[in-house]
Amino acid sequence: MADSRHWMAVLALAVTLPAQAGLFDDAEARKEIIRIRDGHNARLEALEAGSRAQLELSNQIEILKAEVSRLRGEVELLSHDMEAVTKRQKDFYVDLDARLRRLEGGGTLAGPIDPAAESRDYENALNLLKAGKYADAASGFDAFVAAYPSSSFLPSAHFWAGSAALQAKDIARASQHFNTVVNQWPDDPRAPDALLGVANCQRALGERRLEQKTLKTVMERYPDSAAAKSAKQRLGS
pLDDT category of residue 167 using cuts at 50, 70 and 90: very high
Record the pTM.
0.58
Q: How high is the pLDDT of residue 127?
A: 92
- Assess whether pLDDT exceeds 80 at residue 100: no
Count up the domains in the chain and report the number.
1
The full 3-state SS of the chain, as one line of letters, equals: CHHHHHHHHHHHHHHHHHHHHHHHHHHHHHHHHHHHHHHHHHHHHHHHHHHHHHHHHHHHHHHHHHHHHHHHHHHHHHHHHHHHHHHHHHHHHHHHHHHHHHHHCCCCCCCCCCCHHHHHHHHHHHHHHHCCCHHHHHHHHHHHHHHCCCCCCHHHHHHHHHHHHHHCCCHHHHHHHHHHHHHHCCCCCCHHHHHHHHHHHHHHCCCHHHHHHHHHHHHHHCCCCHHHHHHHHHHHC
pLDDT(9) > 60: no
Residue 82 or residue 41, greater confidence: 41
pLDDT averaged over every residue in the chain: 76
Residue 90 has pLDDT above 90, yes or no: no
CB 193 within 8 A of CB 181: no
Tell me which residue range forms the domain holding 14.
2-236
Lowest mean pLDDT among 76-85, 154-163, 187-196, 206-215: 76-85
pLDDT-based confidence at 210, cuts 50/70/90? Answer: very high
Compute CA distances 109 → 95, 101, 115, 116, whole Å. 11, 10, 15, 17
For a pLDDT cut of 70, what percent of the chain falls above it?
53
Residue of 94 and 211 predicted with greater confidence: 211
What is the phi/psi pair of residue 170, to 5°?
A: -95, 80
**Does 228 or 75 have the greater pLDDT score?**
228
User: Residue 113 belongs to a domain with what CATH number?
Assistant: 1.25.40.10
How many CB atoms are located within 10 Å of the residue 176 CB?
16
- Interatomic CA distance for residues 229 and 207, integer angstroms: 21
Higher pLDDT, 139 or 30: 139
